[in-house]
């Protein structure tokens, strides 16, 4: 008998696109950040082309198809925090939002060789 622990994060990713490593990295980052709050993090190989959906207890909190891009780790952490640990600070992940628009966005281009 299989049981799931709540809260449960599910990351569905496109296998044909080879997004398993990206999904695994996101899972690892969420486990490190929310080690005390999360019950389970699951990687779900998707059959639909281009799928990359992050769900919390069955509710989609990010869908690449709708957004037209991959999620920023910061926004995933904030969305999950708001649901599982509302009063908790995310430290540098949270401060990055306040900086965005000044030097934060410029640094993003440099990280990608731009």
Looking up residue 31, the CATH number of its domain turns out to be 3.40.30.10
**23 or 92: which carries more pLDDT confidence?**
23
Higher pLDDT, 45 or 110: 45
Name the pTM for this structure: 0.78
Cα–Cα distance measured from residue 66 to residue 48, given in angstroms and rounded to the nearest whole number: 14
Whether 100 is in a domain gets the answer no
* Count of structural domains, the chain: 1
The predicted-structure confidence for 71-102, as pLDDT tens digits, reads as follows 999 999 999 999 999 988 888 766 654 444 44
Query: Is 3 a member of any domain?
Result: no
pLDDT in tens, 52-64: 999 999 999 999 9
Does residue 26 fall inside a structural domain? yes
Assigned domain for 49 exists: yes
Identify the band that residue 3 occupies on the pLDDT scale cut at 50, 70 and 90.
confident
- Does residue 106 lie within any of the structural domains? no
Distances (CA, A) of 69 to 51, 56, 91: 11, 19, 25
Domain annotation covers residue 14: yes
Domain interval for residue 21: 8-87
């Amino acid at each position: 008998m299989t049981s799931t622990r709540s809260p449960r994060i599910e990351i569905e990713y496109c296998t044909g696109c080879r997004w398993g490593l990206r999904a695994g990295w996101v899972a690892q980052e969420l486990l490190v950040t929310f080690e005390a709050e999360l019950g389970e993090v699951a990687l779900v190989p998707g059959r639909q082309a281009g799928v990359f959906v992050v769900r919390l207890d069955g509710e989609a909190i990010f869908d690449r198809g709708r957004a037209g891009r991959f999620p920023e780790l910061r926004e995933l952490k904030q969305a999950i925090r708001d649901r599982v640990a509302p009063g908790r600070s995310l430290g540098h992940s949270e401060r990055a939002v306040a900086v965005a628009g000044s030097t934060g966005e410029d640094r993003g281009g440099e990280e990608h060789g731009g």
